[in-house]
Amino acid sequence: LKRTRAEYLDALVRHNVDVASFEGDRLEEVGDEAATRKQIALDTPRTAPGVRLFRVGRVELALKRLLYLWAMRHPASGYVQGMNDLATPFLYVFIVEQILEFEEKEGAVGDKKIEIGKHRVLQLESLDFLPQERMDNAEADTYYCFSALLDDIQDHYTFSQPGLQRRVIQLQTLVQRLDPDLYEHFEHEKLQFLQFAFRWMNCLLMRELSLGNILRLWDTYLSEPQGFSTFHVYTCAALLITFSEDLQKESFQELVMFLQRLPTEKWSENDVELLLSQAYMWKNIFNYAPSNLKKPN
């Protein structure tokens, strides 16, 4: 672990990634690398709106650096908007880990005892108490987990995004089979699945669920084969059909607005577990018997 963390920091130096990379004159440069830096600098402040932790300068810088390094090492896709969302669960988990270790092993800055606890981390407005080495550890660990995640779904982000397009089509086929009334209503209102499911696939429901619920969701994804690709489609189907009764009453414009802001803000972990149970059942029915997914006559 020490070796991989050190390799990450060395890579930042080799690629000349520092605070100045995302400020002032560096953002006015031309070329692909400069365009990537500028887009990351624009997207990072929009990450996890409403969560104070991700407005902390040190956290924003960590996110910018790891996203830029990943983009430089993966020129086939480069940075794509939405990737910033995918790094946030990992960054949160590893910052919590470093804070808890710091509290346990050191526990004070000067005469001031540090007692944060993981439940307060999201609302922190400063991480000045956390040594830079620990912040670097969280950033490096996030980078490697983020890289592993994208390795599994990289065709979501290459030219024309074939993987993402394929997942949307799979979702459409699933819904047609599982809830033909809802599917026919979408057809009648001329609502295309790509109009709402693109974001669901691109951001893995990061904008539809709270960060706490995303951690529960992704915990299952990490334990499932092809969790972030195949199983995610079944989860999206379960999410959509959860609101089927309400959706079938809506016009086109109302459907778009509803699906852009799903009423999940009060969802608990139990709601997510019900969603996952439904998805797991459908996966067992359909994924191992593809003939069941043939479009009904």
Q: Provide mean pLDDT across the span 239-247.
A: 98
Which among 9, 146, 138, 173 is positioned nearest to 84, based on CA atoms?
146
What own/partner pairs with CB < 8 Å and gap ≥ 24 does 95-102 have?
Answer: 95/53, 95/59, 95/121, 95/127, 95/135, 95/138, 96/121, 97/138, 97/141, 98/130, 98/134, 98/135, 98/137, 98/138, 99/130, 99/134, 101/134, 102/129, 102/130, 102/131, 102/134
* pLDDT tens digits for range 165-175: 999 999 999 99
Supply the pLDDT for residue 124.
86
Say how far apart CA 87 and CA 81 lie, in whole Å: 12
| CB-CB neighbours of 98 under 10 Å | 21
Asked whether the predicted pLDDT for residue 152 surpasses 70, the reply is yes
Supply the pLDDT for residue 237.
98
Residue identified by tokens 């995302």 is 22
* pLDDT tens digits for range 73-130: 999 889 998 999 999 999 999 999 999 888 888 765 544 555 555 567 888 889 998 9
Supply the pLDDT for residue 31.
82
